[in-house]
Amino acid sequence: MSSAAAFSYAPLLPTGPDQTEYRLVTDEGVDVVNGPGGRRFLTVEPAALTALTAEAMHDIAHFLRPAHLAQLRAIIDDPAASPNDRFVALDLLRNANIAAGGVLPMCQDTGTAIVMGKRGRHVLTDGGDAEAISRGVYQAYTKLNLRYSQLAPLTMWEERNTGSNLPAQVELYAEDPDGHPDAYKFLFMAKGGGSANKSYLYQETKALLNPTRMMQFLEEKLRLIGTAACPPYHLAIVIGGTSAEYALKTAKYASAKYLDALPTQGSMTAHGFRDLELEAEVLELTRNFGIGAQFGGRYFCHDVRVVRLPRHGASCPVAIAVSCSADRQAIAKITPSGVWLERLETDPARYLPDVTDETLDAEQVVRVDLNRPMAEIRAELSKYPVKTRLSLTGPLVVARDIAHAKIAERLDAGEPMPQYLRDHAVYYAGPAKTPEGYASGSFGPTTAGRMDAYVEKFQAAGGSMVMLAKGNRSAQVTRSCQQHGGFYLGSIGGPAARLAQDCIRHVEVLEYAELGMEAVWKIEVEDFPAFIVVDDKGNDFFAEVTKPVLTVGRR
């Protein structure tokens, strides 16, 4: 063997100077004390950690970063954007404006709370940091109009909602953040199930590491992400990694822009770096998918981050992750000067354009009266092609995972399909808490694909003939709709606050009240936006745009 190289060290993810704009949360609960050797130590009380966490979870549920809002506005201003791209972007900006009021969170899935912290060596706490942070998560989710989504496993098969959105995922590291021994820095995230489910790990080989094969691979895998996680996305791709889990974690950080200040080239110290050229190539690749901002166009992604990591010679993990239209994260720090939190945009109205809906509408908007019998609703929908934009008014039944499972059990036992699923379109959703004076809490669609296994059984029994949710469906749903005369309508993923404020007029529980947000509801909607995605003739809008064509590198 050759002689060993000289020792050298670099952090795996060396980041540059912190350019974040902060605001002061409090200067209480922090102090500086003298220690041995003339060193000075920052003391942090548990209450300061709790207060910071509660404030951070509030802010990321209601506010977005200015850069994200500017990207939405850029879609509206881009003449190359499709009408559907611009309509989705405008709806998401309106949603941000409503959420910024501090009552309705921007998304009904208010997510798993994730906190990563780096504590400098001269920072002293009582040692119960994770508990103090979790208490802040608890305070935010129990006091605000957020949704409890965490399930406690009681046995291997039984589970129950914890009623507090705990546990949080808290990861703390002993590391001087940015070289400051007297600082404690944090990344706060709220990760909804839809976007978390679009995190992927692929175990590849050295054969992937050439430009043509890499782009072919990415074209295939990125199309498969689909729209269930509410694009436009902030897409992160990590090539390499000292382990599979490290690659995935790096992808999550990159999707949150946490690694934007990485170096842009590698070195023999084997640190990670960003490949700006490949980022631009992948972004252009996604522009040509045709998927767009959910219903056709260019804006499948806002931007792309590609991080190259060192790897074991026998392994080449590739991790892919997205941050969705609810781009919820914030940086924070505790220093001798106080407790500081990233300043998010509290006035998103300034990003709204001076245009009307009509300016954005290049295609006919079909108004559908949901008060009519189901046969008449289906006959009306049958007149129009996939991708047609709709405006729905009237009653909808709301049911999602657990309710579908219970109804399937009833059908298996020989009971009839509930009449409410025969008479009404079904909306796959689950609301956040209802604020006082509102008809509902934030009430956006959930991922349709989780209900795919039930569709043929339900439609054969006369139910679920018109379904409404977000994201693409499997081929079995298309076949069932063609066989039974059904339809799948796509709702815009993301604007849950706007739907609650502007479109949902009444909400009542029909069945399974004990399931909380997973109960069967009946709601009344007005001018609820949707698109025909799967029709009764076997057409599926997403079938072509999500199918890999592997044209990259072909001449």
DSSP assignment string, 61-99: HH-B-HHHHHHHHHHHH-TTS-HHHHHHHHHHHHHHHHH
Asked if residue 2 belongs to a domain, the reply is: no
| 456: CB partners within 8 A, 6+ apart | 476, 479, 480, 483, 484
Structure token digits, residue 465: 């003939």
Single-letter code of the amino acid located at 106 = M
Mark whether 380 and 313 lie in a shared domain. no
Mark whether 381 and 488 lie in a shared domain. yes
Distance, CA of 474 to CA of 452 (rounded, Å) = 7
What are the tens digits of pLDDT across the range 219-257? 999 999 999 899 999 999 999 999 999 999 999 999 999
Residue 477 and residue 234 in contact, taking contact as beta carbons nearer than 8 Å = no
Asked if residue 456 belongs to a domain, the reply is: yes
Mark whether 412 and 528 lie in a shared domain. yes
Q: What is the pLDDT of residue 37?
A: 85
Q: What is the pLDDT of residue 547?
A: 60
Mark whether 336 and 293 lie in a shared domain. no
Asked if residue 5 belongs to a domain, the reply is: no
Residue 250 and residue 318 in contact, taking contact as beta carbons nearer than 8 Å = no
Mark whether 144 and 232 lie in a shared domain. no
Residue 61 and residue 72 in contact, taking contact as beta carbons nearer than 8 Å = no
Range of the domain at 155: 12-191+326-354
Among the candidates 274, 308, 325, a domain finishes at 325
- Report which of 5, 18, 69, 25 is spatially closest to residue 326, judged by C-alpha positions: 69
Mark whether 456 and 331 lie in a shared domain. no
Residue position matching structure tokens 């709204």: 352
Mark whether 261 and 124 lie in a shared domain. no
Please state the domain count of the chain.
Answer: 3
Q: What is the pLDDT of residue 469?
A: 94
Structure token digits, residue 252: 């999550």
Distance, CA of 323 to CA of 150 (rounded, Å) = 20
Mark whether 318 and 333 lie in a shared domain. no
Asked if residue 542 belongs to a domain, the reply is: no
Q: What is the pLDDT of residue 487?
A: 98
φ, ψ (nearest 5 deg) of residue 458: -70, -45
Helix 46-62 and helix 129-143: axis angle, to 10°?
40
Q: Is 551 helix (H, G, I), strand (E, B) or coil?
A: coil
Asked if residue 540 belongs to a domain, the reply is: no
Mark whether 388 and 430 lie in a shared domain. yes
Asked if residue 169 belongs to a domain, the reply is: yes
Q: What is the pLDDT of residue 548?
A: 56
Mark whether 44 and 162 lie in a shared domain. yes
Mark whether 511 and 418 lie in a shared domain. yes
Residue 171 and residue 161 in contact, taking contact as beta carbons nearer than 8 Å = no
Mark whether 289 and 265 lie in a shared domain. yes
Residue 550 and residue 216 in contact, taking contact as beta carbons nearer than 8 Å = yes
Residue 319 and residue 237 in contact, taking contact as beta carbons nearer than 8 Å = yes
Q: What is the pLDDT of residue 372?
A: 97
φ, ψ (nearest 5 deg) of residue 477: -70, -45
Asked if residue 547 belongs to a domain, the reply is: no
Cα-Cα-Cα-Cα torsion 50, 55, 61, 65, nearest 10 degrees, comes to: -130
Q: Are strands 389-398 and 365-369 parallel, antiparallel or unpaired?
A: parallel
Asked if residue 554 belongs to a domain, the reply is: no
- Positions in the chain short of pLDDT 50: 359-360, 362, 550, 553-555
Q: Give the count of beta carbons closer than 10 Å to the beta carbon of residue 351.
A: 21
Q: What is the pLDDT of residue 347?
A: 93
